[in-house]
Amino acid sequence: MSVAKQIVPFTIDDGRIRVVIESITPSVDDGKFAVKRIVGDRLEVEADVFADGHDVVACQLLWRRAGQTEWQQQTMRALGNDRWSADFVVDEIGRWEYTVRGWVDPFLSWQHDFARRLDPEDVRIAALTGAQLIDAAASRAGKGADAKELNSWSRELAKAGKDKQLGVDEIKRIGMDEAHSAVARRHPDLSLAWTHERIFPLLVERERARFSSWYEFFPRSASDDPARHGTFKDCEGWLPYIKRMGFDVVYFPPIHPVGRSRRKGKNNTLDPGPDDVGSPWAIGAAEGGHDAILNELGTLKDFKQLLKKANDCGIEIALDIAFQCAPDHPWVKEHPDWFRKRADGSIQYAENPPKKYQDIYPFDFETSDWRGLWAALAGVFEYWAAQGVRIFRVDNPHTKAYPFWEWAIAHVRKTYPDAIFLSEAFTRPRVMHRLAKVGFSQSYTYYTWRNTKWELTQYFTELSQGPGRDYFRPNVWPNTPDILPAALQQGQRSVFMARHVMAATLAANYGMYGPAYELLEHKPLREGGEEYLDSEKFERKVWDRSRADSLAEFIGVINAARHAHPALQNDHSLRFMPVDNDALIAYAKHDPERSDIIVCVVNIDPHHVHSGWVELDLEALGIEADKPYQMHDLITDARFLWTGPRNFVQLDPNVCPAHVMHLRAKVTRENDFDYFQ
Amino acid sequence: MSVAKQIVPFTIDDGRIRVVIESITPSVDDGKFAVKRIVGDRLEVEADVFADGHDVVACQLLWRRAGQTEWQQQTMRALGNDRWSADFVVDEIGRWEYTVRGWVDPFLSWQHDFARRLDPEDVRIAALTGAQLIDAAASRAGKGADAKELNSWSRELAKAGKDKQLGVDEIKRIGMDEAHSAVARRHPDLSLAWTHERIFPLLVERERARFSSWYEFFPRSASDDPARHGTFKDCEGWLPYIKRMGFDVVYFPPIHPVGRSRRKGKNNTLDPGPDDVGSPWAIGAAEGGHDAILNELGTLKDFKQLLKKANDCGIEIALDIAFQCAPDHPWVKEHPDWFRKRADGSIQYAENPPKKYQDIYPFDFETSDWRGLWAALAGVFEYWAAQGVRIFRVDNPHTKAYPFWEWAIAHVRKTYPDAIFLSEAFTRPRVMHRLAKVGFSQSYTYYTWRNTKWELTQYFTELSQGPGRDYFRPNVWPNTPDILPAALQQGQRSVFMARHVMAATLAANYGMYGPAYELLEHKPLREGGEEYLDSEKFERKVWDRSRADSLAEFIGVINAARHAHPALQNDHSLRFMPVDNDALIAYAKHDPERSDIIVCVVNIDPHHVHSGWVELDLEALGIEADKPYQMHDLITDARFLWTGPRNFVQLDPNVCPAHVMHLRAKVTRENDFDYFQ
């Protein structure tokens, strides 16, 4: 035959590698971006691993801290249908990596066939083959106890294979010995193993990246005296109040000098009076820019003392990083090339024609000095991190280039791996997702405008189960200084309660703009708009926190439930449940072990009492179908005895529009029948 | 400020590139494997393309034949929500490539804002900016008419911007001039463009890869005389019969010398008589192996004459390539290192313990001479391709290494780009999909065992709409020489008819093992098994094609419908339709232009008349809801007048269990009201 003699080009190094590894999960854009987890999490990795023919394959999950060269490994277990799984616990914050290695295993293949052989002559010949494979495993084992045991087993099996007197069952018993086999499996033949060509990045953050309760307030309104500008010192006085409400992150709008040129007056007017304080987002004046502090608020020393006091209460201060300059920001003079010019030579202010924002200059991310600009902006995070700030709420990140964010966030995390970044991008879905992919820890969401049962169910199912679940962590807000949503503008207390309860229980990260929220602030600047009337963005406020209708205590009850119940500290377990009434929305969440289950039911109609039948998926929750279980409402402290999957609920919005119930039941986990607290 | 002065490492070449390109489709494993199409197809490519901020992005689909360096390009159109689309027609078989290029477009961004400006001073300044951008476009345009037009437009706009007397509307009219704008768009600023880092492979095959009708038969049974072995000459006599049935591919089991050592007798017995012909899959004897022809069938010359005669009838001959050797195959002596050895030094025969196949030696794809083995096996395809064969049905490809297939199929296609490979892998889903990914044109499916309406609906929805649709082309068979499925074993004619109609209309590629099928062969070797009694795999047969109950004519009618109707020549358009009776299954298919629509309804209960109401999705099919339309049954030639989405059908299995109906209607395509034939 001539066919074998042809000259054929080969581009493959070793054609004997037969194993296939596909579809490794979790994975973000095929490993281009990092999967996100929290320190202490167990990462479940799955992959399709198979080979041609009937040989047995084996595979390992490999993982390491980024920068290490040695992999740690864990044998993967077969899930059926060529799918395999293994997991590992991430015990440090920072960057990790993982991938999968597989191989066709000669020893396992041999043993698989050996166990099924019937013909005595075949069994004897196969015993000799097995002895050779065990010998090879002994060589790989080196010189220790394993090698000794394998050598002895190999001799025993070879001897049995040659002994014509020995019965088939006895030979097979020797070859299938489980204790010896376990030793052999520890020393697999990896000479034709394949490690998947992609290394998948994993970003591990601290717990607050997944579970946090934010309270935004303007420090300049912290004074109780209308005549006096609030200070960091005043803010210290607010800490016990915020602590009682159960928040653990206090977020300040920008604390820097406010531009004087083209300063905005009250209600965003263009003709400010001499006492107008302007918008804190118009950053920078002669006395300094992004690393300076507005004189009226106090000194850096005052700020650092506030950080310390807050820290003593278990509260972190988050800063707002808004990368834009007022016309009098020092950078405008020092680095005119960081800004775009108009054809008349003036610097281009922010605009979205026909709208103009003359008090703000955006940076030009196409500047030829992009390296200088990037370093300066990353330096802002580094400066405040050096003062002790570790949480940054980033203003409008979607108007700055993605490559900058990818670089800057990774760069800051090298020195401050515990830094948390919240993306304030209220924009198109793909833009928001890209920001999450390039490194933001948390993202604002559309919750602010999702009101109906259908909208909420669709959106939170997507957030908790959709393709973004491994990198997009929602942080949901019922209001912000920019957004007084239509739903709140009637000012009904029940709506404020319901919107708060849903924010706090649908998502593990949530926040509110207070005290506007707990004091039911609800007047819009214009009918049909979403701006607050007399917005705090443009003026100082004095808040009467002692008002009888304040929601502060209610908020404290909900936040206490969040802190007491791991079920409310994650997003992934959220599952909606059917209720035969569109005014009632019901959902359950649980901790990874299912030892803590919370069921919420909310009446989203602010006007009427509603009742309905809620259907629980008892099997998914691990509850015995025929035993009663207790539902303990964490808001009212009421206790209901429920049985079976369908149970009655009724909610009067004038009393309380929500149940947040702790489910106490005998759970049917494997061999583990316990009432839990 | 000190922050800007820090030394920061940058690994990015140009941080000014702001555009993002994500989620390019179609794509197989993120571009690792080729998307498949047929020559003449229009490939629709989509991508997410966006940037930060409000600037306008633009993007192009780039494509070329593999090996070329220049891209062809097509501007993509926005679909909304940051998704873009463009398409191109593939006009040659072979390997192609495509990807997407995007950029933030300064000219389009300027024009977008310019149109919205109201302030006269802003409009004048912006006109000057626009003039600069148009000047830059003129420079990129070079020296031709475009450059001249752009230069003149730029001058006109700059002049207008400086003319304080000119009204805003007039300046805007000049800047927004559509004819000039179209010229400017032809010369975009690509200095900060980004081409996606992946180049996506595309394999374009000839039409028969997508649409083919296979008839498998054993040439050794082509003789009408029981005493005489069939020959290629006899096969010539079958061509008119096969042609009348409407098949276009005749596939022969292996035509090579059959091993004598350990030859199998009738019904797979181990003690053959002297006249037993053995299994044609036991390939090779002293006289030759995979490139030799069994003496009894004739000579290479006879074979080539048969190819020619078949070709004259519009029929292609497909060969079965089974990579395994009988013990007397010449390679066993020439290349003993291509086979595994047992511990006793003998060559390892095929086995799946406790089952043994001593007449077959599998190749060892872990041989150190894998290069020699691969070249020899690829050489088999090349040898037969050189004789004129272009379709190969590959036996059990899943027991040979995937890297071999990936290399061998690509290698053969280099010389024979029109070669078609059918994968005979009846195995686990991921294995079958991997073979399709590495290059097989078509794949056997589970259709053979899918009987109920639910099973068929699930499976064919997955095949036509699932993730494999871009690379896995089903070829469905109601029977094979290895598989007489339980459904056929009662021998009801209506089952044979229904199973055939569904094979021929659910999939564009289908085949049957004849004449066993049209002659209703249905006796199993053993109750509960799937082997044919007196299987043709182990003996010659003489077939009485003149039998009154033959399905040959019925098969001819169905195949004629397939050839006449483009709707039946693709897989992707398949959609199932609700019928309120589980014994009736209904589905529609159409050609890409929706100018040919076929509706099938099949009664899958062989015993009883069934009727029900079929629901058509008239809007999806482009049919006016309130006009009657004609359903022309291509089997019985009956014509029904239907109106609206719900219509009545009734099928008597004793007459005919299926409707294959051509829908004739006034279609509501844009501005195109035509009755079509």
pLDDT, one tens digit per residue, over A416-440 is 999 999 999 999 999 999 999 999 9
Is pLDDT of A142 > 70? yes
The rounded distance, in Å, linking the Cα atoms of B240 and B548 is: 19
Give A366's contacts in chain B (Cβ within 8 Å).
16, 18, 104, 192
DSSP percent split of chain A into helix, strand, coil, nearest 5 = 30, 25, 45
The rounded distance, in Å, linking the Cα atoms of A254 and B78 is: 37
pLDDT on residue A673 = 37
3-class DSSP assignment, residue A674: coil
- Compute the average pLDDT of residues B411-415: 96
Give the distance from residue B347's alpha carbon to the nearest chain A alpha carbon, in angstroms: 12
B8 pLDDT band (50/70/90 cuts)? low
Give the distance from residue A324's alpha carbon to the nearest chain B alpha carbon, in angstroms: 13
Residues 278-317 of B with CB under 8 A from A: 288-291
**Alpha helix segments (H runs only) across B507-610:** 552-564
Percent of chain B topping pLDDT 90: 92
* B96: number of Cβ within 10 Å: 23
pLDDT on residue A623 = 85
Cβ pair A83, A102 in contact under 8 A: no
Name, in order, each residue with C-beta under 8 angstroms of B365's C-beta and a sequence gap of 6 or more. A15, A16, A18, A52, B373, B400, B401, B404
pLDDT, one tens digit per residue, over B443-488 is 999 999 999 999 999 999 999 999 999 999 999 999 999 999 999 9
The rounded distance, in Å, linking the Cα atoms of B659 and B478 is: 18
pLDDT on residue A353 = 87
Give A175's contacts in chain B (Cβ within 8 Å).
none
Name, in order, each residue with C-beta under 8 angstroms of B321's C-beta and a sequence gap of 6 or more. B254, B290, B380, B381, B384, B392, B393, B394, B395
Question: Is the minimum CB–CB distance between A528 and chain B shorter than 8 Å?
Answer: no
ipTM associated with this complex: 0.93
DSSP state string for A42-95:
EEEEEEEEE-STTPPEEEEEEEEETT--SPEEEE-EEEETTEEEEEEE--SSEE
3-class DSSP assignment, residue A625: coil
- Compute the average pLDDT of residues A391-413: 97
Residues 395-414 of A with CB under 8 A from B: 398-404, 407, 411
What the block records as the tokens of A70 is 């040695």
pLDDT on residue A9 = 61
- Compute the average pLDDT of residues A204-225: 97
Is pLDDT of B671 > 60? no
Cis geometry, peptide bond prior to residue A417 (ω within 30 degrees of 0): no
The rounded distance, in Å, linking the Cα atoms of A493 and A194 is: 62
Nearest to B8 among A48, A399, A411 (CB): A411
pLDDT, one tens digit per residue, over B275-329 is 999 999 999 999 999 999 999 999 999 999 999 999 999 999 999 999 999 999 9
Nearest to A383 among B3, B114, B402 (CB): B3
For residue B630, CA distances in Å to B22, B465, B585, B611, B677 come to 45, 28, 20, 19, 11
Distance of CA B667 to the CA centre of its chain: 28
pLDDT, one tens digit per residue, over A251-269 is 999 999 999 989 999 999 9
3-class DSSP assignment, residue B50: strand
Is pLDDT of A137 > 90? yes
Q: ∠ CA(A201), CA(A207), CA(A210), 5° rounding?
A: 75
User: Which residue has better confidence, B79 or A352?
Assistant: B79
* A482: number of Cβ within 10 Å: 15
Q: Do A428 and B50 touch (CB under 8 A)?
A: yes
pLDDT, one tens digit per residue, over A285-339 is 999 999 999 999 999 999 999 999 999 999 999 999 999 999 999 999 999 999 9
**Is A248 annotated as catalytic?**
no
Best CA proximity match to A621, nearest among A578, A660, A573, A658: A573
What SS3 string covers B94-125? EEEEEEEEEEECHHHHHHHHHHHCCCHHHHHH
The rounded distance, in Å, linking the Cα atoms of A129 and B215 is: 44
Q: ∠ CA(B506), CA(B512), CA(B518), 5° rounding?
A: 110
pLDDT on residue A431 = 97
Cβ pair B506, B574 in contact under 8 A: yes
Q: Do B54 and A383 touch (CB under 8 A)?
A: no
For residue B142, give the DSSP letter.
T
Is pLDDT of A670 > 70? no
Q: Which residue of B has its CA nearest to A355?
A: B117
The rounded distance, in Å, linking the Cα atoms of A483 and B360 is: 76
Q: Do B8 and A378 touch (CB under 8 A)?
A: yes
Sign of CA pseudo-dihedral A112, A118, A122, A123:
positive
Give the distance from residue B117's alpha carbon to the nearest chain A alpha carbon, in angstroms: 5
Please name the residue that has the structure tokens 């300063």: A263
Q: Which residue of B has its CA nearest to A331?
A: B1
Cβ pair A209, A474 in contact under 8 A: no
Amino acid occupying residue B354? P
Q: ∠ CA(B436), CA(B442), CA(B446), 5° rounding?
A: 85
Nearest to B403 among A12, A50, A366 (CB): A12
Question: Is the minimum CB–CB distance between A4 and chain B shorter than 8 Å?
Answer: yes
Cβ pair B134, B88 in contact under 8 A: no
pLDDT on residue A8 = 53
The rounded distance, in Å, linking the Cα atoms of B315 and B221 is: 19
* A383: number of Cβ within 10 Å: 17
For residue B328, CA distances in Å to A207, B281, B319, B325, B367 come to 69, 13, 22, 8, 20
A552-564 and A232-245 are packed helices; what angle lies between their axes, rounded to 10 degrees?
70
The rounded distance, in Å, linking the Cα atoms of B677 and B675 is: 7
Q: Buried b / exposed e across A288-327, counting CB within 10 Å, b at 16+?
A: bbbbbbbebbbeeebbeebbebbeeeebbbbbbbbbbbbb
pLDDT on residue A355 = 87
The rounded distance, in Å, linking the Cα atoms of A167 and A157 is: 13
Give B404's contacts in chain A (Cβ within 8 Å).
15
Name, in order, each residue with C-beta under 8 angstroms of B29's C-beta and a sequence gap of 6 or more. A22, B437
Is pLDDT of B623 > 90? no
For residue B476, report the phi and psi dihedrals to the nearest 5 degrees. -105, 140
Cβ pair A476, A509 in contact under 8 A: yes
Give the distance from residue A195's alpha carbon to the nearest chain B alpha carbon, in angstroms: 15
pLDDT, one tens digit per residue, over B365-412 is 999 999 999 999 999 999 999 999 999 999 999 999 999 999 999 999
pLDDT on residue A608 = 96
**Is B395 annotated as catalytic?**
yes
Interface test with B, best of A1, A290, A300 (most B CBs within 10 A): A1
Question: Is the minimum CB–CB distance between B428 and chain A shorter than 8 Å?
Answer: yes
Nearest to A402 among B52, B365, B398 (CB): B52
Best CA proximity match to A571, nearest among A444, A462, A419, A447: A462
3-class DSSP assignment, residue A319: strand
Is pLDDT of B666 > 80? no
- Compute the average pLDDT of residues B647-659: 96
Name, in order, each residue with C-beta under 8 angstroms of A51's C-beta and a sequence gap of 6 or more. A18, A19, A20, A57, A104, B401
For residue B509, CA distances in Å to A6, A555, B477, B577 come to 34, 64, 9, 22
The rounded distance, in Å, linking the Cα atoms of B53 and A340 is: 14
pLDDT on residue B626 = 83
Based on the number of CB atoms within 10 Å of its own CB, is B95 exposed (0-12), middle (13-18) or buried (19 or more)?
middle
For residue B258, CA distances in Å to A661, B325, B483 come to 75, 10, 22
A403 pLDDT band (50/70/90 cuts)? very high
* A368: number of Cβ within 10 Å: 10
**Could you say which of A424, A521, A536, A539 is catalytic?**
A424
Question: Is the minimum CB–CB distance between A190 and chain B shorter than 8 Å?
Answer: no
What the block records as the tokens of B290 is 């995979």
Cβ pair B538, B266 in contact under 8 A: yes
Q: Do A15 and B50 touch (CB under 8 A)?
A: no
| pTM score of the predicted model | 0.94
B355 pLDDT band (50/70/90 cuts)? confident
**Alpha helix segments (H runs only) across B513-654:** 552-564, 618-621
Q: Do A117 and B50 touch (CB under 8 A)?
A: no
Residues 151-170 of A with CB under 8 A from B: 161
Q: Do B430 and A400 touch (CB under 8 A)?
A: no
Percent of chain A topping pLDDT 70: 97
- Compute the average pLDDT of residues A206-221: 98
Stretch (H or E) spanning A110: helix A106-114
Instruction: Give me the residues paired with residue A269 across strands.
Output: A265
Best CA proximity match to B657, nearest among B554, B507, B526, B520: B554
Is pLDDT of B9 > 90? no
Q: State the pairing for strand pair A658-664/A629-633.
A: antiparallel
Cβ pair B369, B380 in contact under 8 A: no
